[in-house]
Amino acid sequence: MRVSVRVFARLRDIVGAAELEREVPAGASVRRLWDGLVAEFPDAGAYAGSLSAAVNTEYAKMDTELHNGDEVAFLPPVSGGEGVATPRIGRCSTN
């Protein structure tokens, strides 16, 4: 079956495209698709421990089963908002 793959930010730079189409076996999981991408683009493997995934614009787990025509997104650690993302400071004060 065929799925579309979207990648963002530095992961997009590594893959060299924002969107790909890939064949995966019936019943394949998000992880299977990811492992295939890492085989193709070894530098993407650096995200193994920090990656998030979405299927059809909903967050999904790596063991989520894919279906023909799904849109799968692989997301590096996010950094929206202002300044550096989630600094370990700024604890609440009652002053």
Partner 1 sequence: MSIARLAVTTERLDLDALIGAVSSAVEADAEGTGAITSFLGLVREHNLGRRVIKLEYEAYEPLAVRTFERIADEITERWPAAQVAVHHRVGVLAIGEASVAIAAASPHRADAFAACRYAIERIKQIVPIWKREFFDGGDVWIEGATADPDDAAAREDAYRRACV
DSSP, collapsed to helix, strand or coil, labels residue 65 as strand
The pair phi, psi for residue 18, each rounded to 5°, is: -85, -25
Q: Near partner 1 by CB under 8 A, which window of 19-27, 32-40, 62-70, 79-87?
A: 79-87
Q: Does 86 bind partner 1 (CB under 8 A)?
A: yes
Q: CA 67 to CA 64: how far, in whole Å?
A: 10
Q: Near partner 1 by CB under 8 A, which window of 24-32, 33-41, 55-63?
A: 55-63
How far the first Cα of the chain sits from its last, in Å, is: 59
What residue ranges bind partner 1 (CB under 8 A)? 6, 8-10, 13, 50-52, 54, 57-59, 73, 75-86, 90-92, 94
